[in-house]
A and B are shown apart, each in its own frame.
Chain A
């Protein structure tokens, strides 16, 4: 089935550790996005990519990094510089001009 797959569903980070969240889509979508959602809040854009090998910072990129080496994949690394990483992380993708659709999300917590 076509869709957006995020893994893992739950992730725990130790102090000073970098962790990587996976996002894969088989929808042949051009653009991919990473959002952060804190409890009771809306979505805030971290990074986005319109094409392979290109990506732009969103509103809250500090402490995060991404890569887009393949059209299907857009992994997000939460670095140790992100001091408050506990949140629900959502990956989305879309074709140009169409609505975004989301994966099931990854819930990140600090140990």
Chain B
């Protein structure tokens, strides 16, 4: 059974940092690119970032470029998102999503507030 389980969300002050993690099982993790997608409360979906299967290439949406870093550890079947300089508009549920947007985790909530 394919599973994507996010963790690491929580309450953080503006300007702070947080690292999200996604544990993946049920498929050959290293063979596929992975995405992060977020959804602010009551709002639509927003693509955040994608990383290649090898981890050599990564790309970001304009709103997070320079502040967020996506990475992966294929030996541990884990995907990460390091978020720095967090702002109020980063408050959202963050989803770990497979390459074709066909596999989604349950999401982890990040709240940026003082």
- A and B: bona fide binding partners: no
> Footprint of A on B, CB under 8 Å?
none
